[in-house]
Amino acid sequence: MSRMKIEEVKSTTKKQRVAAHSHVKGLGLDERGAAKQVAAGLVGQELAREALGVVVDLVQSKKMAGRAVLLAGPPGTGKTALALAIAQELGPKVPFCPMVGSEVYSTEVKKTEVLMENFRRAIGLRIKETKEVYEGEVLEMTPNETENPMGGYGKTINHVVIGLKTSKGTKQLKLDPAIYESLQKEKVQVGDVIYIESTSGAVKRHGRSDTYATEFDLEAEEYVPLPKGDVHKKKEVIQDVTLHDLDVANARPQGGQDIMSMMGQLLKPKKTEITDKLRKEINKVVNRYIDQGVAELVPGVLFIDEVHMLDIECFTYLHRALESSLSPIVIFATNRGKCTVRGTEIKSPHGMPLDLLDRIMIIRTLPYSQEEIVQILKIRAVIEGIQVQDESFKVLGEIGTKTTLRYAVQLLTPASILARINGREVIAREDVEEINELFYDAKSSAKLLAEQEDKYMK
């Protein structure tokens, strides 16, 4: 008799993919703004981190809008890591929009449109509204059905009766069938804490009531306490949107319900250009809300990596965009030295026009020492769950100094696989040496090409 296949479930939590900068948690500064040698996943680059600490303070005090910073340094010196560290420092409420210089070359949209779109993504608007809401834990949810007036077998929902409970009392509400659809979309069940806006009928599910928290639940459910006060109350609702969200919401044509208008919307290209006129109108409304104190502007960060990929048209457009009243802080990054400005024959530092460089604060990132490379490798080994001997770290540090930090980091996982094949849990010196012989770094590959040039196709 064959045995039943029974497998043990180790954990129900989803495994997170380890990315290149998963270890970066912030800039790693102390209370005085001085950089610690190793902190928040960053190692070294103390001057650059301290300079960016000042930038973060400027963003938080809203005195940095319309300014730009350039991170310049050789490849693998942590420019992207520093930009992500800024995003972590600013927190989730401040918009952070990363892009690469080559993204502007789209076949569907103009270069300047891509730039402006990303500019608008990096500016947030915090709207405060006082709304009348019904809030509480769902005690019952009974839809009342009637015969379909159009005939046929199906029944329609006439209204829905819902019971809500707070710490002060309970209330029974009779709701419109449209709200029942919203309840179904939010997957509301008895025992959930929800709020319903009395004007629009919008439904928001906060989570499951914490009285159910003792239940064994495989899914990681968010439990929230029972709301205080009455079921019917006035509540200040804060919404965070970006200017780009407002542009898209107003640019989308609202077609009719007939089949032709629906087909027209389907056949339209996915990306539509948003006109300058529409943006100006949105800016007027936004400024009026800000003056009335209803909304608050949250200038975020636009990070443009590989900025040398932009051409002269983009650079001239950036000039204008930076001077706009609604503009974020822009952080550029490049690993180029003196090179040609794309679209011209002018040679310029970092491949950027001099007039734009004039208005940019430049922060330099410097190559890492061998000790710093070893410290970074130790952090990466912890993040990737790899055990490495101290002697192996020393060898990897030497490889990183001769080649690049990126190459040394990339050897960690293959070396751990090789160690496992050799029957070891910990990466030994011989594993690192063997894996280094199997793979070539850019410098040794270029050297081999130069030596055997005649054997390759021209």
Indicate if the pLDDT at residue 257 is higher than 60.
no
Write out pLDDT tens, residues 351-371: 888 888 888 889 898 888 888
CA distance 428 to 431: 5
String of DSSP letters for 393-428: HHHHHHHHHHS-HHHHHHHHHHHHHHHHHTT-SEE-
Residue 258 near residue 197 (C-beta atoms within 8 A): no
Q: What is the mean pLDDT of residues 65-70?
A: 79
Q: Mean per-residue pLDDT for 183-200?
A: 80
User: pLDDT tens-digit profile of 162-187?
Assistant: 888 888 888 888 887 777 777 887 78
CATH 3.90.105.10 fits 128-241, yes or no: no
Mean pLDDT of the chain: 80
CATH number of 370-442: 1.10.8.60
- Please give, one letter per residue, the 3-state secondary structure of 7-72: CCCCCCCCCCCCCCCCCCCCCCECCCCCECCEECCEECCHHHHHHHHHHHHHHHCCCCCCCEEEEE
The confidence score (pLDDT) of residue 272 equals: 60
| Domain 38-122+300-364 bears CATH identifier 3.20.10.10 | no
Check whether 261 has a pLDDT greater than 80: no
Distance CA 252, CA 246 (A): 10
Cβ atoms of 52 and 82 closer than 8 Å: yes
Q: What are the helix (H) ranges across 95-149? A: 111-121
- Buried/exposed code over 314-339 (b: 16+ C-beta within 10 A; e: otherwise): bbebbeebbeeebbbbbbbbbbbeee
What is the per-residue pLDDT for 148? 67
* Model pLDDT, residue 271: 56
pLDDT above 70 (res 8): no
Question: What does the pLDDT read at residue 258?
Answer: 52
| pLDDT higher than 80, residue 84 | yes
Q: Per-residue pLDDT for 13 more than 50? A: no
**More confident of the two residues 432 and 107:** 432
Q: Give the domain ranges of the chain.
A: 38-122+300-364, 128-241, 370-442
pLDDT at 395 over 70: yes
The predicted pLDDT at position 287 comes to 86
The average pLDDT across 25-47 equals 82
